[in-house]
Amino acid sequence: MGYGCSSSHKPAPVVEVKGTAPLSKRVKNSITATEYIVKKGETLYSIAWRSNTDVRHLASTNNIVAPYRIYPGQKIYLSKKAAQTSKNKASAESFQKKEQTVVKKTVASSKKQAYGGSASGQKISKKSSSNSRSTSSFSKKVNQWRWPVKGPVIGTYSSSQQGNKGIDIAGKRGDKIKAAADGQVVYAGDVLRGYGKLIIIKHNDDYLSAYAHNDAILVKEQQIVKVGDVIAKMGDTDSQRVMLHFEVRFRGKSVNPMKYLPKR
């Protein structure tokens, strides 16, 4: 599944730091509602990240096609049931309006025929378009994973609901943060509370990685990056200390980054 190659180097030291609460306990950022209104600075990827959902699910549910452009004030449905309920409601309202329109047109047409006018209808051609696409059940591999920064691991991944959804790596302010794999920047900003200045990179349709608490962001959204490219400088934005919080997500779900990063 795209695991990094092992080496003969010693494993990275893991040092649990007391007083450093897992990011999930500091973040009151999750979206649990069935509908959401887009705020300035957000992308569909950042919303998918907050709702712990695959971005393709949100895109499909809301009929949004790549490159998934959204705008402030737009309503996003987080479940197909909510989207269908809204669609049914809109269809019912539309049907009522059509009925009223048909009644008016019928009356007008009858009057026209009475005066010798033509009542022939026009043939309406309907173009059917489908935004659906077949998705493979097989995961796509990431060719190469690298550590985003040097330094001891001070916080490890936990699969529990309130656990740390990534790893925390200590360092000094200004240390260079590097892309862990080739990809495209799909979010770069600070609107996700608890993450500080955050970067999210899409590596392929299955994998995303995130880099939180940066002191400075050195890339822009939609920018293509290569593994090892410097993307940020380490900091402590929305954190109790200078460090990098690093996450990997597979199809919208958190996974243990240590399973992908090479041993060192």
Which domains does the chain possess?
A: 23-76+141-259 (2.70.70.10)
CA dist 192 and 196 (Å) reads 7
**DSSP string for 233-245:** EEB-TTSSSSEEE
Among candidate residues 261, 262, 260, 254, the one with its CA nearest the CA of residue 23: 254
Please state the φ and ψ torsions of residue 100, each to the nearest 5 degrees: -65, -40
- The pLDDT, as a whole number, for residue 239 is 93
Q: 64-88 pLDDT, tens per residue?
A: 998 899 999 999 999 888 667 656 5
Instruction: Kindly give the parts of the chain with pLDDT less than 70.
Output: 1-29, 82-83, 85-137
- The pLDDT, as a whole number, for residue 142 is 95
| Helix H or strand E encompassing 154 | strand 153-155
Does residue 67 have a cis bond before it (omega within 30 degrees)? yes
- The pLDDT, as a whole number, for residue 153 is 97
- The pLDDT, as a whole number, for residue 84 is 73
Whole-prediction pTM:
0.70
- The pLDDT, as a whole number, for residue 241 is 95
Q: Strand, helix or coil at 61?
A: helix
**DSSP string for 171-212:** --TTPEEE-SSSEEEEEEES-STTT-EEEEEE-SSSEEEEEE
- The pLDDT, as a whole number, for residue 87 is 62
